[in-house]
Chain A
């Protein structure tokens, strides 16, 4: 496995605020890796340090073995990026921007193809200032790809897009990976992360609180699954209390039985029921999703900025 990105113990302060406080993660070549976390948790700062746009206070930052701290230009040659807070001159035309960045970053060729690919052909003569939000995002992504970078960094590329445009953007990200590039993606949307990311890291107050695949994050969040079914005689179900992993059983008259717990609760409940000759037709499980895991990982005592000084 080739390591595309290595971040180790990254630290960055703004004055007294520890914006990034010991962040570590690795991205393998060909992965789509997500950085998740609430506003202000340090995602953008991490990406900016990685691209040599900010000087970190400490830590290791490498892109395909190239050190971002000693050789930021080398890193920029490997990375194509869509930054969260960036813009183009209002009066630059779409084709001019693509051609300019293709001469800066690449060999000045291939940009015409990107116009078609990103649905910008009809707007090729439009000024940047006249583009819609979605068109701007597409142009930025096209600019990020113009030099065929090995790593593509996207910072909240779908924020501000309508749901239909977001779906289109997702397909495009998948397409970037299919060309062989590695993608490092910041997002607020858990459906987006669940759909796109192979692995992800969750940041809170400048620290990684969990890192791994979606399943690993779910496990780390230690969420309970909930099993429901209707029983003719709820009073006889005392054995459920003693099953492994079950935390709570609610048996109210005239209502479904609710069993909640961690681990393979559904299998255990089903097994116990069947063993006793009970086969409820409406046995159902509600599994926690990535959104629940994310909220659980980031919610408890969200520190204020004052705590990070």
Chain B
């Protein structure tokens, strides 16, 4: 465990040296924020977004989207690549435990997620007059749960998918599903009913709800909490099982 901080720091540096991933995670959400704000303006519309102003609704959705992207795209591509190229073998042949390696990656996912979340929140508040979080501790807790849950899903995918290419394919697909159906795109109220049902199956929907409630000072969302904790536990269990079998 001694090696976790050193490894995590190195991984953060490696992340920043990989321009494409860094852009995907850190810059793309800002672009989407900019575009959608242009489209929807800043006037609350009682018929959509649960009556919130678009920017208030979308900021939490984007923070969730970024955390999910790190989980289903960056992390699996990275880990599957490590497996494919033999980097993982090199680590396993040292006295590093796989759990330490995973711990470091989890830490990196949370740190990068935090950087992206802060940027997004800052731009929303300063640039688009979004509400500052009502319950900072609540938002922080929700952030940690969502971040760790998606990161553990990412670890599972990274250790299961056959190649980095497969991970990339699935990751990009999930990214667009999340974007369109998870509340980060068109307002739910406008989705046809079949899509709405799909939206209810999308973990991002719950991640966004979990973050939004404390942010806007609403009651803590228990359904969303259950879904996220479920995602975390399932992924962790399956990853442990996968590593034992491996």
- Residues of chain A whose beta carbon lies under 8 Å from any beta carbon of chain B: 51, 53, 73, 76-77, 79, 81, 83, 85-89, 91-92, 96, 99-101, 103-105, 143, 147
Contacts and interface: CB of A to CB of B under 8 A. Distances in A.
Contacts of B91: 104
B95 A76 contact: yes
Interface size class of B (residues with CB under 8 A): 20 to 34
Question: Which 7 pairs show the lowest CB-CB distances between chains A and B?
Answer: A86-B86, A86-B90, A87-B85, A91-B17, A87-B86, A86-B89, A104-B96
Given A53-B89, A85-B86, A88-B87, A76 B94 contact: yes
B6 A103 contact: yes
A77 B97 CA distance: 12
A53 B91 CA distance: 11
B86 A73 contact: no
Interface string B87-120: 1011111111100000000000000000000000
Given A92-B10, A103-B2, A83 B86 contact: yes
Greatest chain B CB density within 10 A among A53, A79, A91, A147 is at A91
Given A76-B93, A100-B7, A87 B87 contact: yes
Contacts of A77: 95
Contacts of A85: 86, 89
29 contacts: A51-B93, A53-B92, A53-B93, A76-B93, A76-B94, A76-B95, A81-B93, A85-B86, A85-B89, A86-B86, A86-B87, A86-B89, A86-B90, A86-B93, A87-B85, A88-B87, A89-B14, A89-B82, A91-B14, A91-B17, A96-B13, A100-B3, A100-B6, A101-B94, A103-B3, A104-B3, A104-B95, A104-B96, A105-B94
A172 B235 CA distance: 46
**Interface SS, B side:** helix
Contacts of A147: 95
